[in-house]
Structure 1
Amino acid sequence: MFYKSKKWLKTGLIGLASVLVIGGCSSGNDSDAIEVFSNKSESTEIYKEIIKDFEKENPEIDIKLSAPPEAETVLKTRMTKNDLPEIMSIGGNATYGELARAGVLHDFSGTELEKQIQPAYIKMVGDLVGEEKEGTFGLPYATNANAVIYNKDLMNELGLEVPETWDEFIKTLEVAKENDITPIYFTLKDSWTGMIPWNSIAANSAGEDFAEKKNAGKASFQEEYDPVADKMLTLLEYGHGKNFDYGYADGNKAFANGESLYYLQGNWAIPEIKKVNPDVNLGVFAMPVTNEPSENKLVSGVDVLLTVSEEASENEDVMKFVEYMMNDERAQKYIDDQKAFSALEGVYQEDPVFEGIKSNFEEGQLTSFPDHYYPSGMQAANLIQEFLIKKEKEKFLKKMDSEWEKVQNR
């Protein structure tokens, strides 16, 4: 989940007391069990299955899986209490960077485990940590992608082909609208869903080095993000009229039932859509943000990385489970279940629904999630949601700058 991890963007009043601890098949005392902490509720079942297999092969080792709501908050709180889980399965975002810089994570640099990973993803997590602390403090495991999910039957009915430029994309939206078909099913009641088109547009038009320049005082949202904001407002014109009344679950159901041509989501939505309608005929493509096809890249990032607390790194049983997870067979099993992509060399997602973005991975036409480099306390999703409601572009861009600086100066 999530592009980031999307659950981390959801707000709520769930306290630490509600932390969900899900046992594997352990028969031992939980106090002696190795904890695997996950930020993704969607992956709970596949983790339980993998843990069960591991414990069967290693009966002397007990594993417990914890998947708490508000996982990012829980993890930061536990870090302040010097109580980090032994093994963490978390997103590749700013929080990971904070943990790595704090020196509480094991460095996998130069290990055989690191060598299994595609270099592009090693670089992505390295950029999150920054130059001040060199090392690979997490192993990219599963990756995700923002895409335009489309209904193939509706596409054929309208006589449309997959667009390769921004102008062609807008033309397909117009054709759908003219034929009384909702072009895009927005689910902006859940603010994080606005980050899907935002990241696609920003990554392909504001530059991959924006965060670095912003922190150096050499860039601003007001200067670089004006066209991003304009394109977001353009897309909003092609929604269903109640763009802020429905959330992610509503959108999955509606899109599965053929209520729109496009759905702007990540690969994680595919299993949820298929649960509603297993027969829906889906395809995906990278949003064409510019009018130069060769410049349009697929936004892909580290959805899951595996890391180990520095204190637990000497525990052979801990490393044994990490090595078990990093086996190609387990990596394949995980991405097949989650409809994700693998960060490991030689492990591929073969589901035909992803045919439209396969070449992006093969040819390296990839770029990372811009918001993974935004300060974690900035609450960008909420600011963007507010902008899309009020449509006050200049005020919004100025606020994005000020909120960034406010968090950085704490």
Structure 2
Amino acid sequence: MMKKWIMPVPFVTAAVVLAGCGGGSSSGENGELTLFSSITNESEKQAFEELVSEFEEESGIAVDVNLPGAEYESMLRVRMASNDMPDLFDTHGWSQTRYGDYTEDLAGEEWAERLDETMDGVLKDEDGKLYAFPLNQALDGISYNATLLEEYGIEPPNTFDELMEAMRTLKEESGGEVTPMFMAQSEAGAVAQYFDQMATPLLTVDEEENYEEELMNGTFDWSNYTFLPEQLKIMQEEELINEDAVTARGGQAVELMAQNEIAFIFAGGSFGADVTELNPDVEVGAIPVPSIHGEDGQRWIGGERHTLAVWNESEAKEEALQFLDFMAEDENAARIAEATSMPSPLDGVDVNHYYEESMEPYADVEVEPYFDRVYLPSGMWDVIGNTGEELLADSMTPEQVSDQMASEYQRLREEVGVEEGESLEDAEEEELSEEEVEELEQE
């Protein structure tokens, strides 16, 4: 059974690019829908834009699609502050806490009755309000080069110890030709992804090593986190990760795995399909994040990935709901889920996604929410990444990483007004002032 998630608001950087946002027509104007999505992968973009074009042709309704990539969150925050939201927008994991006040309740829509119950805790509140239409279900873990593992006689690892052993075997047996684990902190934030995903099996799923209550009420002892920076440092010292992990770009990974030069990566979605498209002789599989304290600690990390919410003050609400109906048609729901290599969130939609075969042995593995979205205050994602970078640059020891996480955790909790003993769910995001909005727009 999936847990109900309470998700604090993440940190949003001040770097904002307003192309397609500031100066554009307001929602519902000129007889067209405005739509913003956080989709970034090229193959996913292509599938989404093809579906939009088909909707336009079928309905006669124009859709202005905006896919701003890394600037998505900043652009949407500005639009929230000025109460000028797109007719349709992606809540990308924050449907209730960040965007909840701007979303139309979709519980009465016909497709809502077919929503997989595992999505309820993510997209519905206690009163039954449905905040967004999900395009797919996120199931994050580790992608692996199945071709390489078979060549070297390595089984997909189930525990962290098995993962470390597999990486050591790959390095030794390949004579250093294979990089066991590829991390790309630049753009992709993979160092932060390692910490965030592995924190779940370390801190929240084992009965004897469960710190959920302490993390939520501010009393967590961060020395219990030190295992993760210690292990990352070991990976670096043993050359189990790429030397340029801090500066490497995510886009490099597809080509490197297609050339059989890397074996593991904290990536999912359409990554595997993109690799095989580049080199049909390379197959990519996916496993849940490995357990740390015992055999039963494996978990998928995810829930809400790409969605479409309807702005509750949209002048084109009827047209926006019509677009969701179109996307919920079985064929269309299957196409977008397959393009993202993820299961459909709608019951009865048959999806043959890329990772289906490799995921089959883990069909009963539970899904847990992203660690930072539940247990950490706004701003901690950058802290996770920055401390990881400092660790790899030998500017911090593993213990210092934990100390920095502890101090920033407390500082940011206080910043949002949460006192020790209180839960993060009591935190509320502060609205931007007019001066702050103007500043962001100018940038």
For the aligned residues, what is the CA RMSD? 3.2
- Contact 2:139–2:367, Cα closer than 8 Å, also in 1: no
Q: Deviations over 1:81-109 (max 9, x none)?
A: 1101111123013x752221xx2211223
Question: Aligned pair 1:383/2:386, yes or no?
Answer: yes
Which residue in 2 is equivalent to 1:395? 403
1:135 deviation in Å?
2.7
Distance 1:223 1:104, change over 3 A: same
Query: Once the two structures are superposed, what CA deviation does each residue of 1:238-289 show, in whole Å capped at 9, x if it has no partner?
Result: 2133322322112222222111222221233224433543432222222313
Which residue identity does 1:120 align to in structure 2?
A: T
Contact 1:256 1:273 in 2 (8 A): yes
Shift of 1:117: 1.5
**8 Å Cα contact 2:92/2:306 also seen in 1:** yes
Structure 1 residue identity aligned to 2:201: N
Q: Secondary structure at the match of 1:283?
A: strand
**Is 1:173 the equivalent of 2:171?**
no
Partner of 2:189: 192
Task: Read off the aligned partner of 1:76 and give its amino acid letter.
Answer: R
Which residue of structure 1 aligns with residue 140 of structure 2?
A: 146
Q: How does 1:55-134 map to 2 (within 5 A)?
A: 55-59=56-60, 61-69=61-69, 70-93=71-94, 97-100=97-100, 103-109=101-107, 111-126=109-124
1:65 deviates by 1.1
Q: Secondary structure at the match of 2:204?
A: coil
What residue identity is the alignment partner of 2:402? Answer: E
Q: Equivalent residue of 1:16, what SS? A: coil
Q: Percent identical across equivalent pairs?
A: 19
**1:112-156 deviation line (CA, Å, top 9, x unaligned):** 333221122220244xx7x7x863222333122323222223212
Q: State the one-letter code of the partner of 1:63.
A: V
Distance 1:243 1:41 in 2: 21
- How is 1:239-278 mapped onto 2 (pairs within 5 angstroms)? 239-278=241-280
1:288-303 paired onto structure 2 within 5 Å: 288-290=290-292, 292-303=294-305
Alpha-carbon spacing, 1:73–1:12, altered in 2? closer, same or farther (3 Å): closer
SS of equivalent to 1:41:
coil
Query: RCO higher in 1 or 2 (8 Å CA, sep ≥ 6)?
Result: 2
Other structure's SS at 2:267 match? strand
Alignment deviations for residues 286-330 of structure 1 (CA, whole Å, 9 cap, x no partner) = 231325332211212311122111113883222111111122211
Q: Does 1:49 align with 2:46?
A: no
Q: C-alpha displacement at 1:216, in angstroms?
A: 2.9
CA distance in 2, matches of 1:67, 1:328: 24
Change beyond 3 A, Cα 1:304–1:174: same
Q: 1:17 to 1:139 in 2, by over 3 A?
A: closer
Letter aligned with residue 52 of structure 1: S
Change (3 A) 1:202 1:151: same
Distance of 1:283 and 1:299 partners within structure 2: 16
Give the AA of the match of 2:368. T
Report the Cα distance in structure 1 between the residues aligned to 2:150 and 2:172, rounded to whole angstroms. Answer: 15
- Name the CA shift for 1:326/1:352 in 2 (closer, same or farther; >3 Å): closer
Deviation at 1:407, TM superposition (A): 4.4
* Alpha-carbon distance between aligned partners in 1 of 2:48 and 2:90, rounded to the nearest angstrom: 10
Give the distance between the partners of 2:92 and 2:274, measured in 1 at CA.
20
Give the structure 2 partner of residue 36 of structure 1.
Answer: 35
Alpha-carbon distance, 1:68 to partner: 2.3
Q: How does 1:317-328 map to 2 (within 5 A)?
A: 317-328=319-330
Query: Could you say which residue in structure 1 is the equivalent of 2:416?
Result: 408
Structure with greater proportional helix content: 1
> Which one is further off, 265-274 or 228-237?
228-237
Change (3 A) 1:184 1:212: same
- Determine the C-alpha separation between the residues in 1 that align with 2:135 and 2:213: 25
**Alignment correspondent of 2:423:** none
- Matched residue, 2:284: 282
2:34 is paired with a residue whose SS is strand
TM-score (norm 2): 0.77
1:118–1:30: structure 2 CA closer, same or farther, 3 Å change rule?
Answer: same
Q: Which residue of 2 aligns with 1:222?
A: 222
**Aligned with 1:307: secondary structure?**
strand
SS of residue matched to 2:181: coil
Letter in 2 for 1:31: N
